[in-house]
Amino acid sequence: MKRRDFLKIARPLAASPLLLQGMPIRTFASPTMLARTCEASERVLVTVYLNGANDFVNTFVPLDQHSVYAGHRPNIYIPTSNLITLDSTLSSSQQLGLHPSLTPFKSLYDSGKLSVIQGVGMPDPNRSHFKAQDLWLRGGDGTSSALSNLDTGWIGRFLDNRYPSFQGVPFSGEPDPLGILLGRMINSGFHTPEEHRFEINLSGQDPGGFYSLISSIGGPPIINFPDSDHGDMLRHIMAIENSVNVYAERISDTFNAGSNSSTAYPDNDLADQLKTVARMLNGGSQTKVFMATQSGYDTHVFQVDDGSVTTGRHADLLGDMSQAIQAFQNDITALGLADKVLTVVFSEFGRKVVQNGTFGLDHGTLGSMVLIGNGVEGGVMGNNIDLNDLDAQNAPTPGAMQHDYREVFGSVLQDWMGANDQAVEATFLTSSYISPKLPLIDPSAAIGPDCSMGSVTLEVNAKVFLRGPYDTGTNTMKDDLRVSGDLPTIEPYTALGFSPENSNAQIDPMVMAVNHPTDSIVDWVLIELRDSSSPSTVVNSISALVRRDGNIVHWDDGTSGITFRNLVAGAQYEVAIRHRNHLGVMSGMAIDVN
């Protein structure tokens, strides 16, 4: 990740802070219209990053080794009488005592909505905050220079593979960023091979004025760029500014259109971030990945209060975090969104098992991850780490790692986000994390291979003439509906019982008339992609417009063709076209998608 390139974005925006709910916001990418034929298209991943390296031993205390634990931490260990037993039905090697501040996690666990993955790390871990964070977000490890110095982030590679046609410039019809970063995290992991295509630095908003604030950035457009590094930077900034304005309007629209339920959120920064996510989703945002951040976990000193091990800095952090996540889960449940959202909690590494002399703990190695949501396979995965198996620095031996963090995220991408094998391999630059998948998602909520997200797209440029409006003298059709003002501005096929991908899409007839004064829009049609081996099976459908010259065009601009995405490479399809008043037609030969 090139910090110099990040500053190209951050510096010009720093003069005009931009806030959403009073917190910094950054966006990355713009999604294509998401297919609605598979549940994967509606799924959202929310990651919560505990910045500073959380002490997972005091978070999830191994009850089967409590005396060993207390011996290593005589001044900061939590007595069993103060711990919350997570699940007494588990085997002794999985018995965990929750920190007393994690009462909300116990409630989520008991309702089957929380899973703890133990012994998570990476081969040859790095104990520098900045480098470890880089590795986690890039998808690397310390085993080789190739894996420790990746130029891209794994989430960015996943999104790049998932949306290969995205060119970095959002436009009407594709308004939402693929992901949004909340809080003050700089090293995001959303970089793609084309620098910053997936990341735009916004640094704040108020609920009602985000668009106006962003629109105030900068001055008059730059016309002549010098042929130099400085000129390249100016071009970059101008491109970012143009994109930000489109994103800003959309973010503001979804925020203002949405609302939270009556759920009470705690008064802390992470809660504000998650509350904003819930509101934007309720307002119609189709953003796929959100990242929230809670800082303060670098507890070298006074992790606990002197004389009160259940209070102090770490207790406050865990209380704020668990209460925020519980409120978020309650909110999205009340809003009817809980079945589409999965939350993953992680940190860059754990801390040492043995305390230091200042009521704290120094940098360690292994940690845990937590998954929350209606779709998780609740429980505890993995055994308690051996508190006697320590390295020379009194941290858990890296060789005791039970789960590579990429296994966890790879399984989430497959079973929750619907990534196919090719997408996972492109994300982590290896096939190692494709199989076997970890059973993290409830089988009833897991995305099957028929709905997996590939990177194959098919653009259909079709022409059709409707018999009624057809004029044999001009070889064009009449646009009487448009002229009379009877052309529907909202696609009509949803109301007729069909399920087009762009359900209830709207057009502006005046825009169409200006763009195509001689080839004005005649009417709506429904274009379907069907399984060639079973032509009655509709794989996907999109409502589109037909112009006077017969060309079927995109409902938003009246120019481009119709693109079907997430298709299976090598599969064969046929194209069918429906109209409200005419018999449908279907292609006479299969189309091979490769």
Write the pLDDT tens digit of every residue in 496-541: 999 898 888 887 656 555 555 556 888 999 999 998 888 888 888 9
Gap between the Cα atoms of 15 and 24, Å rounded: 13
HSE-up of 200 (CA within 13 Å, CB side)? Answer: 29
Q: For position 403, what pLDDT does the model report?
A: 97
Residue that is last in its domain, among 421, 448, 475: 448
With respect to residue 286, please indicate whether it lies within any of the assigned structural domains. Answer: yes
With respect to residue 505, please indicate whether it lies within any of the assigned structural domains. Answer: yes
Q: How many structural domains comprise the chain?
A: 2
**Mean pLDDT value across residues 281-285:** 93
Give 153's pLDDT tier (boundaries 50, 70, 90). confident
Same domain, 384 and 267: yes
- Indicate if the pLDDT at residue 97 is higher than 90: yes
- Indicate if the pLDDT at residue 89 is higher than 90: yes
With respect to residue 205, please indicate whether it lies within any of the assigned structural domains. Answer: no
% of the chain surpassing 90 pLDDT: 46
Write the pLDDT tens digit of every residue in 186-199: 444 444 433 333 33
With respect to residue 397, please indicate whether it lies within any of the assigned structural domains. Answer: yes
Kindly state the tokens that stand for 28.
């990355």
**Mean pLDDT value across residues 538-552:** 90
Same domain, 430 and 548: no
Same domain, 387 and 476: no
Same domain, 406 and 512: no
Same domain, 584 and 461: yes
Residue that is last in its domain, among 448, 472, 507: 448
Q: For position 150, what pLDDT does the model report?
A: 80
Domain with residue 280: its CATH number is 3.40.720
Least confident of 204-213, 392-401, 457-466, 584-593: 204-213
Same domain, 511 and 370: no
Same domain, 343 and 431: yes
Rounded to the nearest 10 degrees, the angle between the axes of helix 313-334 and helix 103-110 is 40
% of the chain surpassing 70 pLDDT: 76
Instruction: Determine if residue 52 is left, alpha or beta; phi over 0 gives left, psi from -120 to 50 gives alpha, anything else beta.
Output: left
With respect to residue 582, please indicate whether it lies within any of the assigned structural domains. Answer: yes
With respect to residue 415, please indicate whether it lies within any of the assigned structural domains. Answer: yes
Same domain, 437 and 462: no
Q: For position 295, what pLDDT does the model report?
A: 92
367 three-state secondary structure: strand
Kindly state the tokens that stand for 336.
């009817």
More confident residue, 265 or 137: 265
Name 148's Cβ contacts closer than 8 Å, sequence gap at least 6.
Answer: 126, 131, 135, 140, 141, 142
Give 226's pLDDT tier (boundaries 50, 70, 90). low
Same domain, 292 and 385: yes
When the pLDDT of each residue in the chain is averaged and rounded to a whole number, the result is 80
With respect to residue 463, please indicate whether it lies within any of the assigned structural domains. Answer: yes
Same domain, 401 and 505: no
Give 134's pLDDT tier (boundaries 50, 70, 90). confident
Same domain, 512 and 479: yes
Task: Specify the pTM.
Answer: 0.70
Most confident of 187-196, 323-332, 480-489, 559-568: 323-332
Rounded to the nearest 10 degrees, the angle between the axes of helix 229-257 and helix 3-14 is 60
Q: Which domain holds residue 372?
A: 49-154+173-181+263-448
Residue that is last in its domain, among 432, 448, 464: 448
Write the pLDDT tens digit of every residue in 349-361: 999 999 999 999 9
Same domain, 269 and 338: yes
Give 235's pLDDT tier (boundaries 50, 70, 90). low
With respect to residue 66, please indicate whether it lies within any of the assigned structural domains. Answer: yes
Kindly state the tokens that stand for 253.
């629209």
**Mean pLDDT value across residues 460-466:** 89
Of 559, 525, 561, nearest to 543 (Cα)? 525
